[in-house]
Structure 1
Amino acid sequence: MSYKVSIVIPVYNVKQYLPRCMESVFSQTYTNYEVILVDDGSTDGSGELCDSYAREHVSCLAIHQQNGGLPAARNTGLSRARGDLLMFLDSDDWLDGSCLDICVAAFKENNDTDCVIFPYIREFGDVIPKTYILGEEERAFLDEEVKNLLHRRFFGLTNNEVYNPVALDELNTAWGKMYYARLAKDLRFTDVDVIGSAEDAWFNAQLFARFSRVIYLPNVFYHYNKQNATSIVHSYNDKLVRTRKNFHKFLADYIVEHGLGQDYEEALRNRKALTCLNYVRNILNSSESLLRKHQLIAELLGDDELRSALAQLPLSRLQMKWRVYYALCKWRCAFGVMGMTWLAERLRKYLR
């Protein structure tokens, strides 16, 4: 069987990066694919670029819509996908040329496979560290392993996984995965006003519950552009705490509704605690004065829900540098937390 792959690419003001992204698609060694470019109200000429690609390549479709945010663009692409297999690609990122070929081969070799996951490279320019999400060896996850090791991970880390808190969100991304389109057709990404940047994690938390066999291929790489200063991950978000709490509530309700039990509850509790790093990073990204940043961090560390989660975080399982960091969070040492976070931000290309 020759599987057709649908590649959904949301586009918003990425004229500088889109050509590299599209070249990586058009140079794939596997050619049975369709590209769905969703221009989400770009104002920098990205929309015109999409039209030019659609004119020049019969495999490419350009869709234009009013700006509705990343989830809305992905949802439009998802609704228009006609392939057997589906994957997402961000418009400032790019793929290795053999990505589709190797992933499709995995489906052909194991016809009961529901999803293929592959690692990514964080592109900082001078440093390009590889992120092996699930190790450096090929692996098949079956049934209970899919549930207990993959699906549960969207809820949070448990046991020895908390050793490296930076790994908390490595599996969450919409990209870096290929799966049967039919398994996702009735799912939709939640608006960022409700759930913030966790929209991909919540989508995957629902999606992975439908998988029985997942293949992890460590030799297929996705290039994650960490140099795009306009990316939402580099901007201050004054809604982050509210939307992240909404996400945690979605996960908590899901655990109850599906009777997932204590392992999932522990994972979510650890997620709440470990997310403190993201909250503080966000505050440091703001334009507030140093004194005001300290005040905001102090207020954050006094949050009842966060304090409860930090009190139960198994500090002894964390890598030493993170054990110190989260102990400072637990003890509400705002200056220490601010200083360590500032340092972690400057070393983030090396921290794994």
Structure 2
Amino acid sequence: MKQADRTPKVSIIVPVYNSEQYLNECVQSLLEQTYKNFEIILVNDGSTDNSGELCELWARQDKRIHAIHQNNHGVSTSRNTAIKQSTGDYILCVDSDDWVDESLLQTCMNAMLSTSSQAAIFDYQRTREDHTPIIEDEAIHWLPQEDSISGDEATRLILQGKVPCLACRYIAARYLYTDHGIFFPVGRVMEDMGTVYKIWFHATSIALVRKPLYFYRQNESSLTAGGHRLDHVTSNIENLNEIRSFISEHGQHLSKDAARFALTMTFNSMKTLRILRASMTSSQYREIRRLIMKQSRSAFFELGLRGNDVRSIARFVATRII
């Protein structure tokens, strides 16, 4: 992190959609930060409840809060709008039904300063509606023991499935978005998977904070809620194509990790596709199945499997989704 005559400013981006039940708690937790140089950008994404009015109320109460109103376009557009209008040196994404520890900004800024990093990854805690912690496998919250790692290694951890790809568990220098033209993919769910790895890859160093500073509320209306959905499958296909293209262009040394990641994700897509088959047209099913098989075959080739090996594996995969 570059030293400057002033304290670096953080832009906190909060997409808001029908969050009147939780928004006040979210914003209050941000205002209680011990680190004071920040702005909060509330993007009301066409809410049909009182969320828009709450955004305006907060903006009138504190000059650091800005309210933006737009038609409903989704999380990606909301975040992109805020990134473009942000004036901070760093970007932090927060979901409107979650809340954060009061020390989040100060802890991350200190960690970045001490390690000369451009980003910081911190731990998080899933909770129920009443704030009761949800006990999860410790592996989900695993981070290396070092104080910092390279962006290259952080990207590898995503591809190895060791670190979840979540936009709300890191803070990063704004220029990592703007200088590289990185924005969240519009019209796609699983938007975090289409973005986070690019930001981490372009960072020279990323600080690691092994403390839960972000509290993710698990509820039915959460932005990432949902079971077996076809748009998850199609977005997964698009994300994997982008990931492997990005790695091919910028990080060839990670190509095998990307191929293994693609295989894992395509198997997940296959399972979902099989569950959803009864609700799809035959032509729609065949086309999506073709795209999944194409991705699997490409990943097998990247891993050095050829000829009979690929045909045998392809037959095995096909029997799972016929």
The TM-score bracket by the shorter chain reads 0.7 to 0.9
CA deviation vs aligned residue, 1:137-187 (integer Å, no higher than 9, x gap): 45221xxx431x212344x22xxxxxxx5x4xx442221111222232243
Task: Give the 3 Å change call, closer, same or farther, for CA 331–80 of structure 1 in structure 2.
Answer: closer
* CA distance, structure 1, for counterparts of residue 296 and residue 205 of structure 2: 38
Q: What's the CA shift for 1:313? A: 11
Q: Secondary structure at the match of 1:47?
A: helix
Task: Give the 3 Å change call, closer, same or farther, for CA 188–95 of structure 1 in structure 2.
Answer: same
Contact 2:259-2:300 at 8 Å conserved across structures: no
* CA distance, structure 1, for counterparts of residue 175 and residue 291 of structure 2: 45
Alignment match, 1:271 = 261
Question: Which of 276, 288, 294 is the aligned partner of 1:305?
Answer: 294
Partner amino acid, structure 2, of 1:191: P
Alignment match, 2:148 = 140
Alignment match, 1:349 = none
Task: Give the 3 Å change call, closer, same or farther, for CA 105–255 of structure 1 in structure 2.
Answer: closer
Tell me whether 244-253 or 209-218 shows the greater mean CA deviation.
244-253
CA deviation vs aligned residue, 1:258-283 (integer Å, no higher than 9, x gap): 3x32x422122212221146426755
Q: What's the CA shift for 1:304? A: 2.2
* TM-score of the superposed pair, with normalisation by structure 2: 0.78
Task: Give the 3 Å change call, closer, same or farther, for CA 330–175 of structure 1 in structure 2.
Answer: farther
Partner amino acid, structure 2, of 1:185: T
Alignment of 1:90-239 (within 5 A): 90-110=95-115, 112-124=116-128, 125=132, 127-129=134-136, 131-135=140-144, 137-141=145-149, 145-147=150-152, 149-154=153-158, 156-157=159-160, 167=162, 170-186=163-179, 187-193=181-187, 196-239=188-231
Alignment of 1:20-39 (within 5 A): 20-39=25-44
Q: What's the CA shift for 1:243? A: 2.6
Alignment match, 1:49 = 54
Contact 1:6-1:86 at 8 Å conserved across structures: yes
CA deviation vs aligned residue, 1:12-65 (integer Å, no higher than 9, x gap): 112222122112112222222110001111112111111111111221111001
- Is 1:240 aligned with 2:232? yes
In percent, how many aligned pairs have the same letter? Answer: 26
Alignment match, 2:9 = 4
Task: Give the 3 Å change call, closer, same or farther, for CA 256–331 of structure 1 in structure 2.
Answer: closer
**How many residues are aligned here?**
299
Alignment match, 2:307 = none
Unaligned runs of 5+ in 1: 158-164, 315-326, 336-352
Contact 2:185-2:195 at 8 Å conserved across structures: no
Task: Give the 3 Å change call, closer, same or farther, for CA 108–311 of structure 1 in structure 2.
Answer: closer
After superposition, the CA RMSD in angstroms is 3.5
Contact 1:311-1:330 at 8 Å conserved across structures: no
